[in-house]
Structure 1
């Protein structure tokens, strides 16, 4: 992980000069605020700011103005009810802002979550650092035969080392050409044009601000075991931050969203038939083979 000297000085300044506030704060979040959390080989994420806590969700649902108006158990019960019945607007009252350093190909996948405010490091204005993501040997895997957008078993050691050498050599060569194109004594090419030669494993940075409802939607997709490893490791760190920030909401989220499975109307009809004693197979279920296998996997805990 590489932070610039300016970023390190900024973090040190923030940690040394706490600001008094009348708004609700979360001690666990104050402890990690501004501190970088390492992800991948050169990446990180850190919480820049946050607004609200579990009580803010409860207040919004009840349209109340005080804290502690009900028992903690009642607040937790309300949060669970809101999560269970997908009442999203109370969760939108809380927000969080991250500073993230990530490979470009991960950023392009991440940006598909459109309900956030993003400001990325500009390669039109500044020169990107010579930092590239190279996966661990265990992550150098073959294409999955059953999932067109996934990977299967890791390559053997010799092949994996060769792949890493190719990735490293290509990234370094492209960066050297990037520097050559920018060199005013040679070409002096505009930065906005020179950047096109960089590889997708080059690191970029951005500020990413999102409300709690959409943050949980992001985590539901990206912390899922089926998500791509390189974005999932960021989501897993963010899930830990969610637990520190809004612990009651996090418990409800993991119960009703992250660890849950949604049954379609057709799946429910199959379950009702099975509960009545009928033997149901995929052929007479009315479900496609994929729907049937997904339902069986959920029921069997696969």
Structure 2
């Protein structure tokens, strides 16, 4: 299970004794604070701290002119303007710290987002638990024939069972050898920092991850997208649910302009203008590559 009964009791005890504060708080995020949201089979995300809210974004943009200027432009309108014109600094005024439990291969994708502060569970110091990510059958798929980094047809029947059995047996055998190699129970064995190299990439690790809202939105734009790998996408979606409650105005603008919008190249704009003028335009005379043209058609038909 993601959290032990003792850990869950600690979380509920912390939530049962709120402390008074002069800081700005977000009622939506307070409802999520400390609680674990399960992801995959053994993973979770939970918010352990945050700073700021929608008002902090507006305050930074107006440089604290105060509530008296709100008649000039309301908060929602200003936040949408900032998002629409790619202003980043006001969104950097909000921060979030997450405790995440995730498979190592997902962590290696995640860590490519370098604009965050990370502290990971140390397998040099501690022994990792026997917990592996084993995909549900509906997420076992063959290699895509059109996308070199994507999935294609879902495996079924004997092929699905064969792959699942190999995943389970290989992970457990690797962990058995890891345990057998460790310096413990009276044997000299290997140091933990060496024995860990035998562990599979689907074993679970944990970390604390702190990031500002601007860079978090960039993470969500890439990892909550329908084309992202399923195993990291479900983490991004769980985080997005918390962010939506934390900064509802900013998240609505993000959904509209980043997740729901598209960026057009000069060639794409030219094709749209030619189409609006009644011209029939194909890939060959569009000036786009086959990949660009395919992506263009996915949006515009």
**TM-score range relative to shorter protein:** over 0.9
- 2:217 and 2:228 map into 1 onto residues whose CA distance is 15
Higher mean C-alpha displacement, 242-251 vs 71-80: 71-80
1:40 matched residue in structure 2: 40
Instruction: Please tell me whether the aligned partners of residues 55 and 67 of structure 1 are also in contact (alpha carbons under 8 angstroms).
Output: no
Residue 85 of structure 2 is aligned to residue 90 of structure 1: no
Per-residue deviation, 1:183: 4.0
2:101 matched residue in structure 1: 101
- 2:32 and 2:83 map into 1 onto residues whose CA distance is 26
Instruction: Please tell me whether the aligned partners of residues 137 and 157 of structure 1 are also in contact (alpha carbons under 8 angstroms).
Output: no
1:235 matched residue in structure 2: 236
Q: SS in structure 1 opposite 2:284?
A: helix
- 2:94 and 2:72 map into 1 onto residues whose CA distance is 19
Aligned pairs (5 A) from 1:188-267 = 188-267=189-268
Instruction: Please tell me whether the aligned partners of residues 216 and 253 of structure 1 are also in contact (alpha carbons under 8 angstroms).
Output: yes
- 1:57 and 1:298 map into 2 onto residues whose CA distance is 31
1:161 matched residue in structure 2: 161
Structure 2 vs 1, CA of residues 71 and 245 (structure 1 numbering), >3 Å: closer, same or farther? farther
Residue 171 of structure 2 is aligned to residue 174 of structure 1: no
Q: SS in structure 1 opposite 2:152?
A: strand
Residue 114 of structure 2 is aligned to residue 114 of structure 1: yes
CA RMSD of aligned residues (A): 1.6
Per-residue deviation, 1:71: 6.0
**Number of matched residues?**
300
Runs of 4+ displaced beyond 3 Å: 4-10, 65-69
- 1:167 and 1:78 map into 2 onto residues whose CA distance is 50
Per-residue deviation, 1:49: 0.6
Per-residue deviation, 1:160: 1.1
Instruction: Please tell me whether the aligned partners of residues 224 and 232 of structure 1 are also in contact (alpha carbons under 8 angstroms).
Output: yes
Structure 2 vs 1, CA of residues 69 and 8 (structure 1 numbering), >3 Å: closer, same or farther? farther
Q: SS in structure 1 opposite 2:278?
A: coil
- 2:136 and 2:43 map into 1 onto residues whose CA distance is 14
1:30 matched residue in structure 2: 30
Residues 22-41 of structure 1 show CA distances to partners (whole Å, capped at 9, x for unaligned) of 01111121111000000000
Q: SS in structure 2 opposite 1:284?
A: coil
- 2:207 and 2:6 map into 1 onto residues whose CA distance is 16
Residues 28-87 of structure 1 show CA distances to partners (whole Å, capped at 9, x for unaligned) of 211110000000000000000110000100010001164585269811011111001100
TM-score, with length taken from structure 1? 0.95
Q: SS in structure 2 opposite 1:257?
A: helix
Structure 2 vs 1, CA of residues 213 and 68 (structure 1 numbering), >3 Å: closer, same or farther? farther
Per-residue deviation, 1:231: 0.3
Per-residue deviation, 1:279: 2.2
Structure 2 vs 1, CA of residues 172 and 71 (structure 1 numbering), >3 Å: closer, same or farther? farther
Structure 1 gap ranges (5+): none
Aligned pairs (5 A) from 1:273-288 = 273-288=274-289
